Chains A and B, each alone.
Chain A
Amino acid sequence: DIQMTQSPSSLSASVGDRVTITCRASQGISNYLAWFQQKPGKAPKSLIYAASSLQSGVPSKFSGSGSGTHFTLTISSLQPEDFATYYCQQYNAYPLTFGGGTKVEIK
């Protein structure tokens, strides 16, 4: 199975900050990497697919990059609605696997 490792597991940031989350795959997955946002008590929301493509309706403050084994999610200017847990997921091979999540909290 492909292991996905996210870092950090949590971070504290202020409104307006630029935030970057890293996701590493245990083997190369090309660009078959997605990012999801989840708020407490809610279903996940799809943000990014193919490592850097925004899902429909997702604001451009979210951006993704990377290929192979190293990926990043960047939020350009953190807003109150962005405080949530973010997950990466590889879909290069089954079983699909998720990273452990990064909780973004208010400083």
Chain B
Amino acid sequence: QVQLVESGGGVVQYGRSLRLSCGASGFTFSSHAMHWVRQAPGKGLEWVAVISNDGINKNYADSVKGRFTISRDNSKNTLYLQMNSLRLEDTAVYYCARLPGLIWFGLSIDYWGQGTLVSVS
């Protein structure tokens, strides 16, 4: 079955960097676009970034543009989120999520990972 497992979260100081990973299994990872979505403590869901199946096309929320980079390694079935210049407001649970096809627009998320918590102090 489809599995998405995030890792790399933790406590990090303001202004520092952190890289999140999302390991995928149970499906052909290279055939699916992927998202990162986050949720601050007690708050709603906020979309962060998307990447096409081949890693060429990317899009970011304004709140993270220029600081976060989404990438993927299809040979390792892994999605990444490099987070630089972290701010207090980046504190959240970060979820990776799958789109059901190649394209990164016009499709809705079908599967979510369990999330990894990032705390910026």
Contacts and interface: CB of A to CB of B under 8 A. Distances in A.
A95 B61 contact: yes
B47 A96 contact: yes
Contact of A101 (B44, B62, B105): B44
Interface in A71-107: 87, 89, 91, 94-101
B45 A43 contact: no
B112 A43 contact: yes
Contacts of A42: 114
B11 interface: no
A43 B47 contact: no
Interface in B98-112: 105-112
A43 B107 contact: no
Interface in A30-78: 32, 34, 36, 38, 42-46, 49-50, 55-56
Contact of B59 (A49, A55, A94): A94
Given A43-B95, A43-B115, A44-B95, A98 B44 contact: yes
A50 B47 contact: no
A46 B107 CA distance: 12
A91 B108 contact: yes
Nearest to B47: A96
Contacts of B59: 94-95
B50 interface: yes
Contact of A34 (B46, B62, B109, B113): B109
A87 B95 CA distance: 15
A1 to B, nearest CB: 8
Contact of B114 (A34, A43, A50): A43
Given A32-B106, A94-B105, A95-B62, A46 B45 contact: no
Given A44-B95, A94-B59, A87 B45 contact: yes
B108 A97 contact: no
Given A43-B95, A91-B108, A94-B105, 15 more contacts: A32-B108, A34-B109, A44-B37, A45-B112, A46-B111, A49-B108, A50-B108, A55-B110, A87-B45, A89-B45, A89-B47, A91-B106, A95-B61, A99-B44, A101-B44
